[in-house]
Structure 1
Amino acid sequence: MADLTDQLPEAARDYLAGRRLDEVECIVADLAGVARGKAMPAAKFAKQTHFYLPNSIFLQTITGDWTDIEGQAFTEPDMILTPDFTTATAAPWTADLTLQVIHDITDQSGNPVPIAPRNVLKRVVDLYNARGWTPIVAPEMEFFLVARNTNPAEPVEPPMGRSGRKAAARQAYSMSAVDEYGPVIDDIYDFAEAQGLEIDGILQEGGAGQIELNLRHGDPVKLADEIFFFKRLIREAALRHDCYATFMAKPIEEEPGSAMHIHHSVVDTETGRNIFSEPDGTESHAFLHFIAGLQTHMPSVIALLAPYVNSYRRYVPDFAAPINLEWGRDNRTTGLRVPVSGPEARRIENRLAGMDCNPYLGIAASLACGLLGLNEGRYPRDEFKGDAYASDEDIPRNVAEALDIFTASPAMRDILGGEFCTVYAAVKALEYKEFLQVISPWEREHLLLNV
């Protein structure tokens, strides 16, 4: 057990602090970003070098159904899971002393499994590294705290605050609104500290019970790991206080949706210089190429950034979500925003991704578009300086349209991997087919007796 402890990050060692570790959760993220894996006694974990899971975990829809891939037998071969000890972190909400460890996934020949979301992101990062570049991201997480909802037929409601009133909408940046659910926020901070996760800031967003949590900038894989961990810890913190945390893109009617804004920059690996800035501090051609890549190729990855039918309810004009791919400096109505910064921190913010996306795939998709722009040397459309909500829409408006564009993109198959693209499209098509079988309350109310 001492050998195991020696491999742990400092935060995990501090959490144990001489106490006996009871259990280890061996986890990976599936296509939806859900944690899959197995838990085992710490003593057993310490004696094993790898574990097994069937590859079918990546063929499962969000409803639990399984998709068939044409030409592939459904034999569920085992994948090899090897612990990435740099990700080992506490599970501070459990009764026993427990650690979580994200695992690397290979096939039985030792090759990275191409349909594993974490491997897809690593593949894109490697393509940057091969050009002598290091991509940097800084994600922003938006989510809602909501009242317990045990009946899916009932609308989602805001939570009750400490004042005895339901959380109010249109209170962006209000400190008193955040204080309404202060105990949940306190547990989020405590859990994050125990896990060694750094929070850059927490604020009240525009929706009733909607919170934004900002993460510091850094390595894309590490930040995706952190979002994966944060989603779980935030849900656990909410449950402690008799409410839910939801990362649905649009959980409440007439309220804004929840995004996962992604800030991007790229540095020269050898010099550490931000390639988006020239030595004199002005914007570089590379900066414009990156924006052009997002404008040109983003429609082909909306299926990853907005993966469910609910995702497209977020893209509503004047509801703090973009409806097109215009870009502008310090303009929050555009899909692509250039924040105020100095030359060393020059970056582009992608505001299209929903918080319901798999963080590994959302970041991979966005970086892939930027890399294609750098490779192609294109230039973006002119900067948009007005209200982009009043401009034409130029993104897919539903799952079916997004999947058609995704599957028709040879550039994305090349950069994300053909096998991954085939599996992802098949899973999402099956999810959409299942959705179309559901009759909604709107249909029963307005069509049952009127048509």
Structure 2
Amino acid sequence: MTSWQEQIPESAQKYLEGNRLDEVECIISDLPGIARGKAVPASKFARQSYFHLPESIFFQTITGEWGEAAGSEGFIERDMILRPDWSTATAAPWTADWTLQVIHDAFDVDGMPIPFSPRNILKRVVQLYHDQGWVPVVAPEMEFYLVARNIDPAKAIEPMMGRSGRPAAARQAYSMTAVDEFGPVIDDIYDFAESQGFEIDGITQEGGAGQLEINMVHGDPVKLADEVFYFKRLIREAALRHNCYATFMAKPIEGEPGSAMHIHHSVLDRETGQNIFSGPQGGDTDAFFHFIAGLQNHLPSATAILAPYVNSYRRYVRDHAAPINLEWARDNRTTGIRIPLSSPKSRRVENRLAGMDCNPYLGIAASLACGYLGLIEQERPDRQFKGDAYDGEEALPRILGGALDLFDSALALNDILGPEFARVYSIVKRKEYEEFLEVISPWEREHLLLNV
């Protein structure tokens, strides 16, 4: 075992026991959450302490076009220095040879973190908590669909064929029989996760046709974001083994519920380890209410990060398992901010706004940033909502363009996430939005061609 292999997690070492490592995938998340990087032979990886990629990977849209975000020096494609985080080394068990993946952090030539690298942004927000003597804890929930192979973008997405030979059915939430329909795919998800050292808290059938949810054990925000980043690839690879696709689109199938990445938050005191949302007698603290107020006050401005594509806004539909406002309540899934049933020690706040299509680093960073602003500003939230929040007024942006306008004007939020990130993100997302507006949809051809 080489010296660097002695630094990697036990699960990665176990994966390589008795086997010769062939390749290492050196990866980093771009703005959409796509893994970018290089695959290098293990012998070469052992000799390098870093590698280079151009910073322009963060200026690229989801379609492969480029936003004019390079700054005053122009589009010179300056190189970044990417250094491995050994704690992220994990198996790539679907490959034909023995391969490890390692997430890298991005720095400039002076050793400063690249300000628009998603992992760096999350680290920045977490450090702000630490500077106040707090430890943020998160638990993401991942919703996704298993769908039939779709190689024609003009064709509607359909549910996958289940084990019974029938397409997956909707409205079977929490059905074990429905979960069994996807048994072979789920078995591979569990096997891959075990090989990679990831702990799954549970898998359930959600309300959509072929929609599943994976719950993850709570923990450090950066570690959990790494795992969601890895999990997206893991799940896609498991699905491909069984002639279907896994999709993390916010709204892949018309008439079915969307897919969310609900984020549960709690905050610990660094010295005592106590949950600052609960008092000595187990009651709600001021910090608990301040955090909720921060989400209510600032999440509208963060929506462009939590709902990053035009498709994302199709998820926010009244009476359709996604929030339409930012009311808060206890044990009420119709509200945008939910307080789950828990003991005082585990008291937490759930943000139900984020879609599964968001970059996990950016989504968690934005959500934590809103809560942090609440803790600093020390305002009170609206009164707890009673009843069905779908009966309330809509209070979220309905299109990406409007969400970006709110994001651009949110100076406090941009300062937390980093002004340079905010500049680059807005330019890239507006470029994507312009690309979408140039596309003529089937709806327009059907209803406008001969009628207007």
Bucket of the pairwise TM-score, normalised by the shorter protein: over 0.9
Give the residue type in structure 1 aligned to 2:52. Y
User: 1:68 and 1:351 mapped to 2: Cα distance?
Assistant: 32
> Could you say which residue in structure 1 is the equivalent of 2:313?
312
Could you tell me which runs of 5 or more consecutive residues in structure 2 were left unpaired when the two chains were aligned.
Answer: none
> Could you say which residue in structure 1 is the equivalent of 2:53?
53
User: 2:100 and 2:299 mapped to 1: Cα distance?
Assistant: 37
Q: How does 1:356-367 map to 2 (within 5 A)?
A: 356-367=357-368
> Could you say which residue in structure 2 is the equivalent of 1:22?
22
Q: How does 1:390-401 map to 2 (within 5 A)?
A: 390-401=391-402
Give the residue type in structure 2 aligned to 1:9. P
Give the residue type in structure 2 aligned to 1:361. L
User: 1:207 and 1:395 mapped to 2: Cα distance?
Assistant: 23
State the 1:121 CA deviation. Answer: 0.3
2:102 pairs with 1:101: yes
> Could you say which residue in structure 1 is the equivalent of 2:230?
229
Give the residue type in structure 2 aligned to 1:218. G
2:39 pairs with 1:9: no
State the 1:65 CA deviation. Answer: 0.3
Cα-Cα RMSD: 0.6
Could you tell me which runs of 5 or more consecutive residues in structure 1 were left unpaired when the two chains were aligned.
Answer: none
User: 2:181 and 2:153 mapped to 1: Cα distance?
Assistant: 26
User: 1:80 and 1:440 mapped to 2: Cα distance?
Assistant: 42
Q: How does 1:42-441 map to 2 (within 5 A)?
A: 42-69=42-69, 71-441=72-442
State the 1:177 CA deviation. Answer: 0.3
Q: Deviations over 1:170-191 (max 9, x none)?
A: 0000000010010000000000
State the 1:72 CA deviation. Answer: 4.1
User: 1:264 and 1:232 mapped to 2: Cα distance?
Assistant: 25
Q: Deviations over 1:296-334 (max 9, x none)?
A: 001110000000000000000111000000000000000
Give the residue type in structure 1 aligned to 2:102. V
Q: Secondary structure at the residue paired with 2:424?
A: helix
Q: Secondary structure at the residue paired with 1:403?
A: helix
User: 1:419 and 1:328 mapped to 2: Cα distance?
Assistant: 35
State the 1:71 CA deviation. Answer: 3.0
User: 1:241 and 1:326 mapped to 2: Cα distance?
Assistant: 41
State the 1:206 CA deviation. Answer: 0.1
Q: TM-score, length-normalised on structure 1?
A: 0.99
The alignment-based identity, stated in percent, is 71
Q: TM-score, length-normalised on structure 2?
A: 0.99
State the 1:413 CA deviation. Answer: 1.6
Q: Secondary structure at the residue paired with 1:267?
A: strand
User: 2:132 and 2:302 mapped to 1: Cα distance?
Assistant: 22
User: 1:250 and 1:363 mapped to 2: Cα distance?
Assistant: 20
Give the residue type in structure 1 aligned to 2:27. I
Runs of 4+ residues over 6 Å off in structure 1: none
Q: Deviations over 1:114-139 (max 9, x none)?
A: 00000000000000000000000000
User: 1:381 and 1:3 mapped to 2: Cα distance?
Assistant: 55
User: 1:71 and 1:400 mapped to 2: Cα distance?
Assistant: 25
State the 1:390 CA deviation. Answer: 1.0
Q: Secondary structure at the residue paired with 1:3?
A: coil
Q: 1:72 to 1:312 in 2, by over 3 A?
A: farther
Q: Deviations over 1:314-365 (max 9, x none)?
A: 0001110000000000000000000000000000000000000000000000
How many residues are treated as equivalent by the alignment? 451
